[in-house]
Amino acid sequence: MGIVEEAHNVRVLGSGQQVIVLAHGFGTDQSVWKHLVPHLVDDYRVVMYDNMGAGTTNPEYFDFERYATLEGYAYDLLAILEELRVGSCIFVGHSVSGMVGSIAAITRPDLFTKLVMIGASPRYLNDVDYYGGFEQEDLEQLFDAIRSNYKAWCSGFAPMAVGGDLDSVPVQEFSRTLFNMRPDIALSVAQTIFQSDTRHILHLIKVPCHILQSVKDLAVPVVVTEYLHQNLGGGSIVEVMSSDGHLPQLSSPDIVIPVLLRHIRYDIAA
């Protein structure tokens, strides 16, 4: 196993010709895909990894300067693909990883046959003629809460993000992976994500994009999906799912997994 693979806990399952890369969002790790993977391993070679800063990665490897922008994560993704000698893949990116995959696909479009995004947003902050869902004041309160008492913040944030009560298994799962992050790293990652703005590069994304979104999502309003659809540089398709929450592949697998499989297997009609 190479250095990059080891650092990101890369796992490769299945033996199909077509490679699928699964990339998780903030506060989770590759375990968020546990309901999807069994449906893929018979037909695909499945690559999973943990974003640097996830609780499963070595915090000593987290470079605060490198991960102050989403490009740092995109370079990691490209390094993983290079180390595994992946010539092309279907990329499934949840939340921030949707945009991380997009940045990587601008740099190396030859490596991606399509991007499947779940709950992705090019900007979380509201702006003139743009609704991202948050005001700067909301974000400052969020960062202050992480800073002042991380565990208390996790306990409050997990049920809101997942959409469920504290005792539900998906909320407990998300709470566990959130708790596993080192608080200073979690704050830095949250600041990078919530302050990011990738609207200006959307027109450069020529790889076909499948945009999937929960009808109710604390982090990403449904209107954001339409914004992505209108501004991407290549072909795109949107499907709003009847799921609730920002981690629907974990909280509503019965709804989400069939949708995901359909978008993985079928290409946008030319």
Mind telling me the catalytic residues? 95, 217, 246
C-alpha angle 57-211-186 in degrees, rounded to nearest 5:
25
Of 216, 230, 205, 247, nearest to 91 by C-alpha is 205
Distance between first and last Cα of the chain: 39
CA distances from 140 to 86, 125, 144 (A): 40, 11, 6
SS3 224: helix
Q: How many CA atoms lie within 13 A of 138 on its CB side?
A: 11
- According to DSSP, residue 84 is labeled T
Phi and psi, residue 262, nearest 5°:
-60, -45
